[in-house]
Amino acid sequence: MQKVAFIHEHPTWADALLREFDEQGFAIEKINVAELAFETVSSRAPRFDFAINRVNMMPSVERLPSVVFQTLHYLHWLESCGVRVVNGARAHFVGASKSTQNGVFSSLGLHCPNAIAIYQPEDALDAATKIGYPVIVKPNIGGSGTSVEKFDNAEELSLAVENKLLDLGIDRSGIVQEFVESDGFVYRVEVLGEQLFYATRQQIKSGSFNYCATEACAAPGSDEDVSDAFEIETFVPEQQIIDDVVNIVRSSGADLGGVEYFIDTRRGKRCYYDFNPYSNFVSNGETLLGFSPERRYVDFVRTLIEAA
């Protein structure tokens, strides 16, 4: 079997997946983006024709923000050299940009929160006035609830702007978004190509914006009970939801991915708010799902390699 590059970012998050690749006979070349420096001239082209992108665009405290953009440059470079990348540069970028995700949702006729993209904190005031309070202000590139703040009125937001309390993230661009009342749950549906991978739902913890369905997303230093904060359950989504998710993933240039939504109780319909090309691999996946998610993931990658 041809050599396959496995692009990752964390020394242990991919261990189970890498073991499955090894057991199925794949010749894997591991590339840790934390150590990524690459020759760019054509005479030093990659030693592989197929790569798997398993880097989460979400910035974390353990790495320099610049590695986020270095990874994006690397994916573009690989594709320019003719390498087939699972969840390549476009999917990686869409997974990072909340504003771009909203564009994907709305282009497909799907309901998503009304939001305005900004690049400086003081613009949040005008944006919030147009949208109407309460609002959420968050980084355009972010995740796990990092730097997400709710403001109930103009006085609260003005105070935050005046005291330079708004954090718009690593590229200093942000989103001012309407606050949507939900049914108290966040739903995540993942697909591999056009097939359902798994679907979970998680109760929203009051005052929290971290809806990631795995303990790996727990904020460092948090004193909250992890078992309570990340308790999830599976559910069977209706076919229309699966079709929506497949269309979102395809429109984002991805081969696989997860989409999160909640129920907008005021409007009485699903509200899509996040696309993530990085599969979370819920903890104790085989027990929770009834199958090995790692094995199913590797089987899917094999079909992509055979079709390449």
Q: Please spell the DSSP secondary structure of 67-93, one letter per residue.
A: HHHHHHHHHHHHHHTT-EEET-HHHHH
The two beta strands, 50-53 and 84-86, are parallel
Answer yes or no: do 162 and 46 share one domain.
no
- The whole domain housing 131 covers 115-178
Q: Are 140 and 169 in contact (CB under 8 A)?
A: yes
Contact 54, 7 (CB under 8 A): yes
Please say which residue of 178, 194, 213 terminates a domain.
178
CATH classification of the domain holding 67: 3.40.50.20
- Per DSSP, 118 falls in state E
Q: What is the CATH number of the domain that holds 174?
A: 3.30.1490.20
**Structural domains counted in the chain:** 3
Q: Can you give the pLDDT of all 308 residues of the chain as single tens digits? A: 678 999 998 767 788 999 999 999 999 999 999 889 999 987 677 889 999 999 987 756 667 788 888 999 999 999 999 999 999 999 999 999 999 999 999 999 999 999 999 999 999 999 999 999 999 999 998 766 678 999 999 999 999 999 999 999 888 999 999 999 999 999 999 999 999 999 999 998 765 555 555 544 544 444 444 445 557 899 999 999 999 999 999 999 999 999 999 999 999 999 999 999 987 776 678 888 989 999 999 999 999 999 98
Q: Are residues 123 and 18 in the same domain?
A: no
The DSSP output letter for 33 is G
- Between helix 239-251 and helix 98-107 the angle, nearest 10°, is 120
- The residue out of 178, 206, 227 marking a domain boundary is 178
**Strands, E assignment, the chain:** 3-8, 27-32, 50-53, 84-86, 115-118, 135-139, 149-151, 174-178, 185-192, 195-203, 232-234, 256-264, 269-276
Instruction: Please tell me the distance from the alpha carbon of residue 306 to that of residue 308, in angstroms, as a whole number.
Output: 6
Pair 225, 239 in one domain: yes
- Distance from chain centroid for Cα 194: 18
Indicate the burial class of 206 (C-beta count within 10 angstroms; 0-12, 13-18, 19 or more). exposed
Alpha helices in 122-274, H assignment, sequence order: 123-131, 154-162, 226-229, 239-251
Residue 54 confidence (pLDDT): 93
Same domain, 185 and 273: yes
Predicted TM-score (pTM) of the model is 0.91
Go through the chain and tell me how many residues it has: 308
If asked whether residues 172 and 203 sit together in one domain, one would say: no
What's the CA dihedral at 60, 119, 176, 273 to 10 degrees?
-50
Domain boundary among 139, 163, 178: 178
State how far the Cα of 53 lies from the Cα of 152, in Å rounded to an integer: 39
Same domain, 105 and 222: yes
Q: Which residues sit opposite 52 in a β-bridge?
A: 6, 86
- Tell me if 293 sits within 8 A of 282, measured CB to CB: yes
Residues 192 and 273 in one domain: yes
Report the first-to-last Cα separation within the chain, whole angstroms.
13
Same domain as 159, residue 148: yes
Whether residue 271 contacts residue 263, with contact meaning beta carbons closer than 8 Å, is answered with yes
Same domain, 242 and 190: yes
CATH number at residue 220: 3.30.470.20
Q: Looking up tokens 């150590």, which residue turns up?
A: 35
> Tokens 């995700």 sit at which residue?
101
Looking at the structure, do residues 213 and 101 belong to the same domain, yes or no?
yes
Same domain flag for 33 and 140: no
Question: Three-state SS across 129-170?
Answer: HHHCCCEEEEECCCCCCCCCEEECCHHHHHHHHHCCCCCCCC
Residues 283, 245 share a domain: yes
